[in-house]
Amino acid sequence: MAKVMIVTGGARGIGAAIVRSAAGAGYTVAINYGRSKERAEALVRDIAGKGGSAIAVQGDIAKEADIERLFAETAARLGPVDVLVNNAGVAVTTAVADCKAADYETIFGVNVRGLILCSRAAVRAMSTRRGGKGGVIVNISSISPVYGGLPHDVLYAASKGAVDAFTLGLSKEVAGEGIRVCAVRPGLTETEMLDADFGPGQAAEAAKLSVPIGRIGQPHEIASAVLFLASEAAAYITGSFINVSGGREINVKTSAG
């Protein structure tokens, strides 16, 4: 029987790449989306056309009730979740001096609160102490907490720093319950969110100068790390982080670029 994976924010960007890779590896995937209904449904059709299996489940990861519905619907339609990928994330570009409370609430509502509540639902379903069969949680963090983020991106970096701390703490808390918890830290990766932050094509140009490998990353490269951590090949790995950044954190500067 195929394993079940939930990918939050799975309709586009890194999330969609994870969904495609997971389906190709034999997972049945629940694609969570917020507003990208057409993209999510198109992805379901594309996966089905290639012999895979996926469903699309709408849900705002900032809302507790939506999270509970996501897990309940997935369990009812596909079976118990084996892997949760906490991929959903948002960014608001602002200097700290100019930020509004709403900016903080938006970023931390999805990136931290939503991720924690999704993890809570996954632990309740997976824990061998609660009748589950174990499982894996993979959090999509960012390389930005390693250097504090770029100017006007500090709130995002702070939210991902919280994700790192939560990943480490939760991994210890549930290690005896058959659950592994790890994180992937992407660097500059070619996505719509990054284009909105930097401007179309600008991040790719910045990567040529600021990334030791000399280029921007691709979503499928993040997906490869996620699928490894979710697999039996990583069965002895928990509380660990994989930086998929081209080495950006080695020489990043706090100026733009």
What's the confidence (pLDDT) of residue 38? 97
Which residues are known catalytic residues? 156
Topology of the domain covering 4-251:
Rossmann fold (3.40.50)
Give the model's pLDDT for residue 256. 43
Q: Which two tokens stand for residue 155?
A: 């709130």
10-residue averages of pLDDT along the chain (257 residues): 96 97 98 96 98 98 98 98 97 93 96 98 98 98 91 93 98 98 95 72 82 94 98 98 92 51
Give pLDDT, residue 255.
Answer: 43
Q: Residue 222 carries which side chain, given as an amino acid letter?
A: I
For the record, the structure tokens of 253 come out as 């500067």
For residue 204, the model assigns a pLDDT of 84
11, amino acid identity: A
- On whether the pTM is more than 0.75, the answer is yes
Query: What's the confidence (pLDDT) of residue 192?
Result: 77
Concatenate the DSSP letters of all residues of 118-175 into one string: HHHHHHHHH-GGGT---EEEEEE--SHHHHT--TT-HHHHHHHHHHHHHHHHHHHHHG
pLDDT value, residue 249: 85
Rounded to whole angstroms, how far apart are CA atoms 23 and 195? 27
